[in-house]
Structure 1
Amino acid sequence: MRTESVQLPFSQPIAEAYVKRSHPGIEALFGSHPAEEAHWHRRLNWLKAHADKRVASERLAEVLLAYNKRTNDHPSVLANIEAIREGAPVVVTGQQAGLWTGPLLVIHKAVTAIAAAKDASRMTGTEVVPVFWIAGEDHDWDEANHAFIRSGEATLARIAVPRPFGVRTSVSRTKLEQAKLTEALQRLSASLPDTAFKRELLETLEGFAVRCNDLSEWFALTMGWLFGKYGLVLMDSDDAGVRALEAPMFKRILLHNDELEAAYMRTAGVVRELGYALPADVSESCANVFLFEDEERVLLYKQDGDFRNRKETLRVPREELLRIAEQEPQRLSNNVLTRPLMQDYLLPVLGAVLGHGEIAYWTLTGEAFRCLGMEMPLIIPRMSYTLVEGTVEKHMAKYGLTFNDVAERYEEHRAGWLKERDELDIEGRFDAARTQFETMYKPVMEMSASIGRGLEDLGAVNLRRIQDQISYLEKRTKEAHARRFDTALQQQDGVALALWPDNQPQERILNMADIWNRSGSAWLDKLLDAPYDRSGGHYLIYL
């Protein structure tokens, strides 16, 4: 398998400082780094010594078993759940449930978790299990409900499932009619080019659709199809069984809420002092917990000892919320600052695989962990990949396109390629025409201005209009010239769409169905054999 390491720009300065270990102050907020083998052993020993601070492994295994038998019933998964029952630590990653798994970065997270678990098992001599946390409790429907597919040579199609009418509840609780799932599959079928793999893909996704009525379960079934044989254990944060396990931790979060708020605020101050913008909202009086009220997911704030929503149309006494935590935990949900704590309470987390944005907001949680007598797990930057299909590679060679050309200067490269084939020197001749016209016209403008004061402005306006017309003709001439190279330009545009769609990294846009349709399962096998680095990195994977 051919691979090539490339460096993508960091979107988060905090994550860059952590990954590159370039700022001791940032690394201190995490307390460990995956590049240090000793830190893995230290964390493993901590997990063994503090098993009583987490959900009992027997109870956890039973909940995981019930969920995975519905969505991910593969012998390798069931064996890994039994390992968790016996006390095996985990490497966990997660994402909101997206349509057909969402953008490729979700796949990359799962691949990284599997690779990191294998690496940790070898390093520590202890079996380590990969787990994928489906954030079904999230309610950002517009982020979860769509997929981007290449339709044709150079067209990007967006396929989305509309949100049903009603309150904005979690994705797992947003129930969909079968007709809506069928419509999405029909649009997918119409958008995908015909290939040897298309029928299998569509029949598989359709088979999953008839078994579920929400995006989270469709997501889980698809992830199980892709990764079940690799032992990836799935869990949905909004699953009723998981919620029941969370009850004691919700109560602790509420009882120590003021202390947690102070911890988040102090850490936010440290981040600012280190010269970084806050990666997540840290608000005074925010409880960092959601309440499902009539199925609407409402963020809670503290006021006079009670809890309220932002608009103050809902008020819940403290004792009532504590009762809900104990007796109705399915009515509560975490936010980005309390989810790491809950995850560490549920699972024996040796390491958490995070994207750069997630790494940034986890900087705010270290003191909160300690506030509850816990320690932050190892934070593992997820691996990042760009898949390069055979046709794309061939066209890159044909037109002298590198990955950096596409990612950093594609329009410039495209225009330069066209200009090299301009035997008429279109741009030069139009520039000369504009210069010659202005030279001839200026004396006339000056003469007119000498006769009447208002004619000076009129002459200038007239000059601009004529120049605009010359530019318009130049544009149309260039377009006519470009049409002579339609096939070549479409092939180059196809390369750009494949590697850097919508001027963004491939992994942030394209859906796995796009790649599967063109390559079958070969691309996934290659990803799972791709290089893995504990500090992350980006690789081109040639299919």
Structure 2
Amino acid sequence: MNIIPETLRAGSALAEDYVEGTGRVLELYGYHFRQAEDYKTRAKRLDEMEAQRIDRQAVVRCLRIYNEQHNGHAQVMESLNRLSQPDALVIAGGQQSGLFTGQLLVIYKAATIIKAAQEAEQRLGRPVVPVFWIAGEDHDWDEVNQAYIMTSTPDPVKVRLRYQPDRRNSVSYIPLSPVHKEEVLLELERLLPDAEFKAEILQQLRTAFMDTEHLSDAFAKMLGHFFGRYGLVLLDSADPALRELELPVFRRIIESNDELEAAYQAAAQRIEAAGYQLQAEVAEGGANLFYINKGERLLLYKQNGIYGDRRGQVRFTKQELLEELERHPERFSNNVLTRPLMQDSLLPVLATVLGNGEISYWAITRQAFEVLELEMPVLLPRMSFTLVEPNVRKYMEAFGLTFQNILEGLEPLKDKWLSAQDSFHMEEEFVAFRQELFRLYAPVIERAGQIEKGLVRLGEKNRDRIAEQVDFMEKRVRDALVRKHETALRQWDQIGTSLLPLGRPQERVYSIYQYTSRYGDRLVHDMMSLPLDREHLHRTIYL
């Protein structure tokens, strides 16, 4: 591997300023990952707040049962033994349970969690355990049910399970039939180019899918395959056993709901007053909780003391909602703004690994932590990579391209290169001819108009028809130039499809299996040998 740091803008001004550590954003967050003393301060505060979290041993027992089912590596069991120690801390982070692990960024986030836990343990001289939070309670099926594969076509091909739930239930509760799982595995097999490790990774995926009933469980087995050896503990936020433990936290969220809403609103106003855009909705009257009713996950709002969804399917007074919680805690789940509070109530989170969008919306939650007598943890940006395969690197070198060139826009560079291949300078010839046509025709039209006014309009139409024929000829010449250089132009397209698919960063599109089918699991393990990026720059990896 050849590693080169690059600049890749975050897309969020607030996240970019946080990563850079500029003064005006620090007050929105508190701790900062660049300030070495903040880890020590945070660790001390976690020790002081131990009694305010859910019983550590109960959480470990729950996580042990889940990981024995889906991630039963010896190193994971050892991580759980260490987590049971009273001085153990956690580096956490998570993502939705995507098809075939979803986008590459999921792999990079898991790697960051592990590397950050190793570094923090060395820095603090106490156990720090990596935990990946699988957001299985999320209900956006269309978002998780997709994986992109690079083929010979100009654009990536989307692979999906041919199944659409009839209700918006949590992904971890949506069962998959063997037929649908078989179909998607065969589709992936068809699309992946033949490569050294293709058969091996297809068998891995078949084992993960066919041994589980839900997408989240298959996702857990895939993550465990890559990272179980590094002791990465997995947690499914929709785990019913975990929900039982979370009941006291949900009770506090309901009892303090008005104070939490006021905290979110106040934070949102501060963020906007500082000149930033909000990255998550802070709805007026939002309870920031979901209730699962007859297999459908409903977002709750409150009006005149009544909690209910927008369509009026459920209605509760606060007391009725609390009673329902005691009877059926499995029917409650967090939204994007209460999930950070739940994570901190379950685990002694030293730092949480986030993407740029997450860093932005976590700023809304800082005061809410305080309502529950908690503190926001240190926010640690995940590592970011682009994988450059040997053939793509060869094409880049042939055309004199850098990664930054590609980020700035590949199509204009490709058009400029194609024009440079025209040794007869036909484009310039057509421009000159068109100018000359208009120059010579102008006096003809003028004099014809002096003979009869109606001839002016006729002359202009005649001139435009001639110009259209010139345009037609120019296009035919351009098409011929394209045919002459179509092999090179396909190489240009392959650069774009590989590094900036769909106009987006590679890590936000492709699945890791796009690459492990060619390079094997060693690709992930080689990445794990890289040091944690302390500057948090994007890095290109030339394979």
* Length-normalised TM-score, structure 1: 0.96
Change (3 A) 1:245 1:420: same
Alignment gaps of 5+ in structure 1:
none
- Paired AA for residue 370 in structure 1: E
**What is the match of residue 60 of structure 1?**
59
**The residue matched to 1:172 in structure 2 has which SS?**
helix
Match of 1:198 in 2: 198
Please state how far the C-alpha of 1:190 moved relative to its aligned partner: 1.1
Counterpart amino acid of residue 70 in structure 1: Q
CA contact (8 A) 1:102 1:147 kept: yes
* 1:329-478 equivalent positions in 2, closer than 5 A: 329-451=329-451, 453=453, 455-478=455-478
Which segment is superposed worse, 389-398 or 61-70? 389-398
- 3-state DSSP of counterpart to 1:482: helix
Q: Distance in 2 between matches of 1:406 and 1:89?
A: 41
1:180 and 1:464 map into 2 onto residues whose CA distance is 58
- Alignment check: 8 A CA contact 1:381 1:534 kept: no
Residues 462 and 208 (structure 1), Cα distance of their counterparts in 2 relative to 1, 3 Å cut: farther
Task: Look up the SS of the partner of 1:38 in the other structure.
Answer: helix
User: Counterparts of 1:222-301 in structure 2 under 5 Å?
Assistant: 222-301=222-301
User: Could you tell me whether the CA contact under 8 Å between 1:153 and 1:491 is conserved in 2?
Assistant: no
Mean Cα deviation higher: 352-361 or 440-449:
440-449
The question of whether the paired residues in 2 share the 8 Å contact of 1:147 and 1:511 is answered with: yes
Percent of aligned positions that are identical:
41
- Pairing of 1:528-539 with structure 2 (within 5 A): 528-534=528-534, 536-539=536-539
Greater Cα shift, 369-378 or 315-324: 315-324
Q: CA RMSD in A?
A: 1.6
- What's the secondary structure of 2:225's corresponding residue? helix
Q: TM-score, normalised by structure 2?
A: 0.96
CA spacing shift, 1:26–1:163, aligned 2, 3 Å: farther
1:85 alignment counterpart: 84
Tell me how many residue pairs correspond in the alignment: 542
Aligned mates of 2:465, 2:238 — CA distance in 1:
63
Q: CA deviation at 1:165?
A: 4.2
SS of alignment partner, residue 409 of structure 2: helix
- CA distance in structure 2 between the partners assigned to 1:97 and 1:448 by the alignment: 74
Moved more, 158-167 or 200-209: 158-167
Which has the larger displacement, 407-416 or 375-384?
A: 407-416
Shift of residue 451 of structure 1?
Answer: 4.9
Correspondence 1:297-312 to 2 at 5 A? 297-312=297-312
Q: Deviations over 1:150-202 (max 9, x none)?
A: 11274421111234341111111122211111111111111111011100011
What is the identity, as a one-letter code, of the residue corresponding to 1:348?
P
Structure 2: which amino acid aligns with 1:428?
E
Where 1:383 maps in the other structure, the secondary structure is coil
Tell whether 2:30 aligns with 1:31.
yes
Contact 1:90 1:129 in 2 (8 A): yes
Structure 1 counterpart of 2:320: 320
Question: Would the aligned equivalents of 1:3 and 1:530 in 2 still touch at CA under 8 Å?
Answer: no
SS at match of 2:235: strand
Residue 459 (structure 1) shift? 4.1
Q: Distance in 1 between matches of 2:534 and 2:374?
A: 23
Evaluate the alpha carbon distance shift between residue 432 and residue 252 of structure 1 in structure 2; reply closer, same or farther with a 3 A threshold: same
Question: 1:523 maps to which residue?
Answer: 523
Instruction: Say if 2:10 is the partner of 1:15.
Output: no
Q: Does 1:217 align with 2:217?
A: yes
Residue pair 2:306, 2:317 contacting (<8 A) in 1 also: yes
SS in 1 for 2:130: strand
After the TM superposition, list the runs of 4 or more consecutive aligned residues in structure 1 that deviate by more than 6 angstroms: none
CA contact (8 A) 2:89 2:349 kept: yes
| Alignment of 1:180 onto 2:180 | yes
Give the secondary structure class of the aligned counterpart of 1:365. helix
For residue 128 of structure 2, what is the aligned residue in structure 1?
Answer: 128
* Secondary structure of 1:325 counterpart: helix
Structure 2 alignment gaps of length 5 or more:
none
Label 1:239 to 1:448 Cα distance change in 2 as closer, same or farther (>3 A): farther
Match of 2:70 in 1: 71
Residues 130-145 of structure 1: pairs in structure 2 closer than 5 A: 130-145=130-145
